A = this chain, B = another copy of it.
Amino acid sequence: MPKTLKKSEKIVRAAMELFYKNGFHATGIESILKKAQVSKKTLYSYFESKDALILEALKYRSDQFNGFWDRVRERASEPRDRLLAIFDLQKEWFESDMFYGCLFINAVGEYSRKGNPFKKVSQTVKVDTYENIKGLLEEMSHPDPSFAAEKITLLFEGAIVTAQVSSKSRSANIAKEIVKTILDSDMKAEKHKEIEMEPGLVNEVLS
B165 touches A122 (CB 8 A): yes
- Verify if A201 is at the interface (C-beta below 8 Å from B): no
Q: Which residue of B lies closest to A23 (CB)?
A: B110
- Verify if A112 is at the interface (C-beta below 8 Å from B): yes
- Complex Cα distance A162/B152, Å? 11
Q: Which residue of B lies closest to A170 (CB)?
A: B150
CB A122 to nearest CB in B, in angstroms, measures: 6
Q: Which of chain B's residues have a CB closer than 8 A to the CB of A170?
A: 150
Q: Which of chain B's residues have a CB closer than 8 A to the CB of A23?
A: 25, 109-112
CB A194 to nearest CB in B, in angstroms, measures: 19
Q: Which of chain B's residues have a CB closer than 8 A to the CB of A80?
A: none
Q: Which of chain B's residues have a CB closer than 8 A to the CB of A104?
A: 165
Give the segment of A9-17, A38-46, A153-161 that binds chain B: A153-161
Number of copies: 2
Q: Do A185 and B181 form a contact, CB below 8 Å, given A23-B110, A158-B157, A165-B104?
A: yes
Q: Which residue of B lies closest to A182 (CB)?
A: B181
Q: Which of chain B's residues have a CB closer than 8 A to the CB of A111?
A: 23
Interface residues of A in 47-79 (CB under 8 A from B): none
Q: Which residue of B lies closest to A175 (CB)?
A: B154
Q: Which of chain B's residues have a CB closer than 8 A to the CB of A162?
A: 126, 153-154, 157
Q: Which of chain B's residues have a CB closer than 8 A to the CB of A177?
A: 151
Q: Do A109 and B112 form a contact, CB below 8 Å, given A25-B23, A155-B158, A185-B185?
A: no
- Complex Cα distance A47/B16, Å? 34
Partner of A164, one of B26, B108, B184: B108
- A interface residues (Cβ-Cβ under 8 A, vs B): 21-23, 25-26, 100-101, 104-106, 108-112, 114, 119, 122-123, 126-127, 147, 150-151, 153-162, 164-167, 170-171, 174-175, 177-178, 181-182, 184-185
